[in-house]
Amino acid sequence: MSEKNILEDFKINIKLKLALLWASVTLLYLYGDYFELYVPNKTAGLVNGENLLDSPIKLFLASFLLAIPAMMVVLSILLKPQINKILNIIFGLSFSFIMILIGVISFESWRAFYVFYAFLESFITILITYLAFNWPKKIANGK
């Protein structure tokens, strides 16, 4: 391959990588929840109050849980490396576990899409954990 055909590449900062991965997983959570509305009888259950989030406290807890990945987008950019690394590992592992569990529990023909999203979301949060765990180190002499 000649040198004029080599594509340019550059190093992407770890904070930016983590923020983009959290943004990606947040979008997948939204898509999964949106497409779940197309499952038969789902919207009827929402209208008559027969759903998983059937109380103010359950709705608040679900909102709080799903706010974490969205907040990690900005926190991954703003926080200092040490706390950033710790939070990305903790939340990356936590959301990986949650989505693997949901993927296993949710399997039925109408919810195959949800299992697919759970797999993608788990892959991304495992990648987040891996990248955070292997956060690049600064060379001692400052180079």
* Predicted local distance difference test score (pLDDT) of residue 1: 58
Residue 83 lies in a domain: yes
How confident is the model over 12-38, as a mean pLDDT? 95
* Predicted local distance difference test score (pLDDT) of residue 117: 92
Of 2 and 132, which is predicted with more confidence? 132
Query: Residue 23 is part of which domain span?
Result: 19-133
Residue 142 lies in a domain: no
Residue 30 lies in a domain: yes
How confident is the model over 40-58, as a mean pLDDT? 83
pLDDT band at residue 54 under the 50/70/90 scheme: confident
How many residues would you count in the chain?
143
Residue 12 lies in a domain: no
Q: How many domains in the chain? A: 1
Residue 6 lies in a domain: no
Residue 46 lies in a domain: yes
Q: How high does pLDDT run on average in the chain?
A: 90
Residue 39 has pLDDT above 90, yes or no: no
Measured between alpha carbons, how far is residue 70 from residues 2, 29, 76, 110, 121 in Å?
43, 10, 10, 27, 13
Residue 11 lies in a domain: no
Residue 106 lies in a domain: yes
Q: What percent of the chain has pLDDT over 70?
A: 97
How confident is the model over 103-121, as a mean pLDDT? 84
- What single letter denotes the amino acid at residue 1? M
Residue 21 has pLDDT above 90, yes or no: yes
